[in-house]
């Protein structure tokens, strides 16, 4: 099982400076049979300014790079975990 980036979107709002402390918030916003959607928000720790926002959709594929179902353990509340 592999994940390939099917879509990637980024909206830049403000630049960051070297040595600034930043916070990246990542949310799993949707899961379907073959893909998972993540959203991102990058903020400056000092003033909370939003520097960038984005989203990505990695698709689940097999060894032949054919779409496959997202494994059950990746669904919220599946009760299964990988160690």
Is 82 part of a structural domain of the chain?
no
The dihedrals phi and psi of 16, each to the nearest 5 degrees, come to -110, 160
Is 20 part of a structural domain of the chain?
yes
Is 83 part of a structural domain of the chain?
no
In this structure, what CATH number is given to the domain that contains residue 38? 3.10.129.10
How many angstroms separate the CA atoms of 63 and 75, rounded? 22
Is 17 part of a structural domain of the chain?
yes
Mean pLDDT calculated for residue range 33-53? 93
Q: Is the pLDDT of residue 80 over 70?
A: no
Mean pLDDT calculated for residue range 9-14? 97
User: What are the pLDDT digits (tens) for 21-30?
Assistant: 999 999 888 8
Range of the structural domain that residue 20 is part of? 2-74
* Number of domains observed in the structure of the chain: 1
Is 37 part of a structural domain of the chain?
yes
Residue 41: alpha-carbon gap to chain centroid: 10
Ranges assigned E (strand) in 13-83: 22-31, 36-44, 50-61
Is 24 part of a structural domain of the chain?
yes
């Amino acid at each position: 099982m592999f994940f390939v980036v099917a879509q990637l979107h980024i909206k830049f709002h403000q630049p960051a400076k070297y040595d600034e402390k930043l916070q990246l918030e990542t949310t799993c916003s949707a899961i379907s049979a073959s893909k998972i959607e993540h959203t991102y928000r990058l903020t400056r720790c000092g003033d909370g300014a939003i520097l960038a926002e984005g989203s990505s959709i990695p698709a689940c594929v097999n060894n032949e790079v054919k779409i496959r179902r997202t494994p059950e353990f990746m669904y919220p509340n599946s009760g299964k975990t990988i160690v």
